Structure 1
Amino acid sequence: MEIEAPPLLRDTPKPTGERRGLVIVHTGTGKGKSTAAFGLALRAHGRGKVIKVYQFMKVPTARFGEHRLFEQLGVPIVGLGDGFSWKSRDLEHSAELAQFGWAQAEATIRAGEHFMVVLDEIMYPLRYGWMPLEPVLACLRERPPHVHVVLTGRGAPAEIIELADTVTEMTLIKHHFKAGVPAQRGIED
């Protein structure tokens, strides 16, 4: 490791624009997309902001760590799916759930009552063709100006990346699965 001197001067100009709602995307093959989105949601909740989380692949009865914590905090988290495609018994039904879920999420975004709306794992139903992309883009463009929307999932469409204000691509460098270490509660859930 090479040691470097800490910066003594700010190396980027201070922003002068107006604060507004942002579209934030976490994509890529690396771990941490949902975790980063939940971190933003917790940060906003900690500031007294109203947030809502929609999970497009999790079942409504899911009880993962994030569900337990958000429930304790009084933060609504809604499972909209029936599990990842390899767990689904009926992909047509999965598509119907995604479309029904999108209608709920879109209504929440457009209502403007939330500071932040998280659309966790929304890229999957978009990539699988379960939901059309254009209504999602239209909603993001037309949302009330104070609403922040965070979208997660691998393979974000170029159109969403172009529209977004901030895009982070999580890059897989090394993963414990490849060494044969299974998923662990509190890490993957």
Structure 2
Amino acid sequence: MSDRDTRHQQAMRKLKSHVDEKVANATEQRGLLLVFTGNGKGKTTAAWGTVTRALGYGYKVGVVQFIKGLWECGERERLVEDANLEVAIMATGFTWDTQNREADTQACQAVWADAERLLADPDVYLVVLDEITYMLKFGYLDIATLTRALNNRPSEQTVIITGRNAHRELVEMADTVTEMQEVRHAFNNGLQARRGIDF
């Protein structure tokens, strides 16, 4: 065996030992709170990927879309016929289009009622609160209402929160926080969002 092969084998043996130790120490079983935030593309896409994974195992899933509900959504179109998926949509479009704080607040509160019901249902394995960070930022929903629902949800239920500028309280209480970092975005260089790729 060459020196390089020997070093590689030693490194892999050390890595395996480290991974095995982490696996052995991961003994707690419960639902998680995941936050997908940051300025980069892919937060909602990652959430839908997890939705697909949960549905693949036959779990019940609820998705509440707070911003992009009027947009076409390839993932939603593909999965909406699954009897284990419930989707609730705010359906007002982007707040910079509506420019009506009172109407947007009412629309948020209406779809939040669906979110609260899903968050209280022990049969729902996964709940996605897509773009809910904007509801907090614009004051359509207060953080105390959201954190109370998250803290009181069934212990086996996982929640994914997506959106830029996640509230610090959500970041602090989350089990996993992923920040999507933008290095370059095609839209900023004049390229249109592409059907089947961006939505």
TM-score, with length taken from structure 1: 0.90
CA contact (8 A) 2:88 2:111 kept: no
**Does residue 1:112 correspond to 2:131, yes or no?**
no
The equivalent residue for 1:51 is 61
**Does residue 1:146 correspond to 2:172, yes or no?**
no
Report the CA distance between 1:113 and its aligned residue. 1.8
| Count of aligned positions | 184
Identity of matched residues, %: 37
The equivalent residue for 1:73 is 82
Structure 1: state its 5+ residue gaps: none
Q: What residue identity is the alignment partner of 2:92?
A: D
Report the CA distance between 1:110 and its aligned residue. 1.0
Report the CA distance between 1:89 and its aligned residue. 4.7
Q: What residue identity is the alignment partner of 1:86?
A: W
Deviation string, structure 1 residues 5-56 (Cα, Å, up to 9, x no partner): 6844333421332210000110000000000000011001101111111101
The equivalent residue for 1:41 is 51
Task: Please identify, of 153-162 and 78-87, the stretch whose mean Cα deviation from structure 2 is larger.
Answer: 78-87
Report the CA distance between 1:178 and its aligned residue. 2.1
Structure 2 CA distance, aligned partners of 1:106 and 1:127? 19
Q: What residue identity is the alignment partner of 1:16?
A: A
TM-score, with length taken from structure 2: 0.86
SS in 2 for 1:73: coil
Structure number with the higher helix fraction is 2
The equivalent residue for 1:23 is 33
Deviation string, structure 1 residues 62-114 (Cα, Å, up to 9, x no partner): 54212211224342222124011122152211111111211210121112220
Q: What residue identity is the alignment partner of 1:76?
A: E
Please say which structure displays the higher CA radius of gyration.
Answer: 2
**Does residue 1:172 correspond to 2:182, yes or no?**
yes
CA contact (8 A) 2:127 2:157 kept: yes
What is the root-mean-square deviation of aligned Cα atoms in Å?
A: 1.7
Instruction: Quickly say closer, same or farther: Cα 1:58–1:178, change in 2 above 3 A.
Output: closer
The equivalent residue for 2:195 is 185
Runs of 4+ in 1 over 4 A off after TM superposition: none
